[in-house]
C-alpha cells in the first residue's frame, strides 16, 4: 500500500494478533462476537498507529527528510526515515508530530461524542458499536501519553534528547536519555516482577535493549556517518 508517496507494510507478526485473539477467547460464551469486536478494535487501533507514523513522516518531509517506508506491527508502528536531522528543533518537531496526531484524534472524537450527547467516560460493559468513538478516544489519549514517556524507544526519549542536545553534545544527550530510559525499564521490570506480571517483563527488556541500541547508534555516528534512522511508535 502507498500513502502520500510512502510505502506502508504490515509486519509478519501482525498476523499473530488474530491468532492470539482467537486463542485467548477460546473458552468464552459467544466467542465469535468477542472476537469480532476485538478484530474491529485492532483494525481501528492500527489505523490510528498508521496516522501517528504519517505524522512523523510528513513532519520529516517538511525538513526535506524522505521516509523509506512505514511498518505496522500489532504493538506499534515504525516510520523509517532516511536520516534524522541533526538540528534539535527539527528532531523535536518530528518526534512530537506522531503523539500530536493521537491527541488531535482524541480531541476530535471528544467533540463528536459531546455533540452527539454521549458520555466521555467509557462504560465497563459492552453495549454495542456506538461505544467505539469513546473507546478510541481513550486509546488515543493513552497512546499520546505513553509515547511522551521520556525513554527510548518512545518518542518522548527523542524529544528529551533533542532538548538536551541544545545544551550539550549529541552523544552526551543520547547517553543521558538512554540511561534514563534504561533506569525506567529496570524500575518497570522490578515493579511487574513484584506484581507477578511476568509476561510484562518482556516490555522492560525491550525498552532496555532499545535504549542501548540507540546509544550504540549515536556512538557509531560519532565515528562515521551511518545512514538510516527509525522512529518507533
Ligand atoms: Zn512515534
Asked whether residue 200 is assigned to any structural domain, the reply reads: yes
Q: Is 191 among the domain residues?
A: yes
pTM assigned to the model: 0.80
pLDDT at position 127 is: 65
Residue 8 lies in a domain: no
Q: Where residue 90 falls among pLDDT bands split at 50, 70, 90?
A: very high
What's the gap in Å between 37 CA and the centre of ligand 1?
Answer: 26
pLDDT bracket for residue 28 (50, 70, 90): confident
The answer to whether residue 127 sits within a structural domain is: no
Q: Which pLDDT value is given to residue 211?
A: 85
* C-alpha of residue 134 to centroid of ligand 1, in Å: 22
Q: Where are the beta strands (DSSP E) in 74-191?
A: 76-81
Distance 95 CA to ligand 1 centre (A): 6
53 is catalytic: yes
What confidence score (pLDDT) does residue 57 get?
92
CB atoms within 10 A of CB 139: 19
CB 232 within 8 A of CB 155: yes
Residue 194 lies in a domain: yes
Look over the chain and give the mean of its residue pLDDT values, rounded to a whole number.
84
Cβ proximity of 77 and 87 under 8 Å: no
Distance in angstroms (rounded) separating the CA atoms of residues 194 and 215: 29
CA of 52 to the centre of ligand 1 (A): 6
State the distance from the centre of ligand 1 to the C-alpha of 127, rounded, in angstroms.
32
Domain annotation covers residue 55? no
Sheet containing 67-73, strands listed edge to edge, beginning at the edge strand earlier in sequence: 2-3, 6-10, 67-73, 76-81, 229-232
Of the residues 53, 195, 214, 225, only one is catalytic, namely: 53
User: Which residue range(s) make up the domain with 195?
Assistant: 150-224+229-233
DSSP helix/strand/coil, 230: strand
**Confidence (pLDDT) at 60:** 92
CA-wise closest residue to 212 among 151, 150, 147, 170? 151
| pLDDT at residue 95, as a whole number | 93
How many A from CA of 79 to the centre of ligand 1?
8
Give the pLDDT confidence of 196-205 residue by residue, as tens digits: 877 778 878 8
Q: At CA 104, angle to CA 101 and CA 107, rounded to 5?
A: 155
Please report the pLDDT score of residue 227 as a whole number.
52
Residue 220 lies inside a defined structural domain of this protein: yes
> pLDDT-based confidence at 124, cuts 50/70/90?
low
CA atoms of 227 and 225, how far apart (whole Å): 6
> What value, to the nearest 5°, has the Cα angle with vertex 229 and ends 224 and 230?
155
Chain segment 63-73, per-residue pLDDT in tens: 999 998 898 88
Residue 136 lies in a domain: no
Neighbouring C-beta atoms of residue 143, cutoff 10 Å = 23
Model pLDDT, residue 125: 67
Interval between CA 156 and ligand 1 midpoint (Å): 9
In the chain, the percentage of residues whose pLDDT exceeds 70 is 92
Cα–Cα dist 175/166, whole Å? 14
Mean pLDDT confidence for 172-193: 88
Residue 109 clears pLDDT 80, i.e. is over it = yes
Distance 85 CA to ligand 1 centre (A): 16
What's the total number of domains in the chain?
1
Joined grid coordinates for residue 188: 518497570
Cis peptide before 32, with omega less than 30 degrees from 0?
no
| pLDDT for 140 beyond 80 | yes
Tell the residue number behind the cell numbers 506499534, with chain if given.
Answer: 76
pLDDT higher than 80, residue 56: yes
Amino acid at each position: 500500500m502507498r500513502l502520500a508517496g510512502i510505502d506502508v507494510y504490515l509486519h509478519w507478526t501482525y498476523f499473530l494478533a488474530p491468532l492470539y485473539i482467537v486463542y485467548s477467547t477460546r473458552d468464552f460464551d459467544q466467542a465469535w462476537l468477542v472476537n469480532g469486536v476485538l478484530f474491529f478494535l485492532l483494525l481501528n487501533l492500527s489505523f490510528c498507529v498508521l496516522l501517528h507514523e504519517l505524522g512523523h513522516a510528513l513532519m520529516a518531509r517538511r525538513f526535506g527528510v524522505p521516509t523509506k517506508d512505514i511498518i505496522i506491527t500489532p504493538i506499534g508502528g515504525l516510520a523509517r526515515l532516511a536520516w534524522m536531522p541533526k538540528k534539535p528543533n527539527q528532531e523535536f518537531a518530528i518526534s512530537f508530530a506522531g503523539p500530536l496526531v493521537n491527541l488531535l484524534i482524541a480531541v476530535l472524537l471528544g467533540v463528536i461524542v459531546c455533540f452527539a450527547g454521549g458520555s466521555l467516560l467509557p462504560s465497563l460493559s459492552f453495549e454495542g458499536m456506538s461505544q467505539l468513538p469513546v473507546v478510541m478516544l481513550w486509546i488515543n489519549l493513552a497512546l499520546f501519553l505513553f509515547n511522551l514517556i521520556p525513554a527510548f524507544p518512545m518518542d518522548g526519549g527523542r524529544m528529551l534528547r533533542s532538548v538536551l542536545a541544545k545544551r550539550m553534545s549529541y552523544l552526551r544527550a543520547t547517553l543521558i536519555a538512554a540511561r534514563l530510559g534504561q533506569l525506567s525499564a529496570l524500575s518497570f521490570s522490578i515493579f511487574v516482577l513484584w506484581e507477578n506480571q511476568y509476561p510484562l517483563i518482556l516490555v522492560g527488556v525491550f525498552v532496555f535493549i532499545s535504549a542501548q541500541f540507540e546509544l550504540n547508534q549515536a556512538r557509531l555516528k560519532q565515528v562515521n556517518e551511518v545512514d538510516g534512522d527509525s522512529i518507533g511508535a
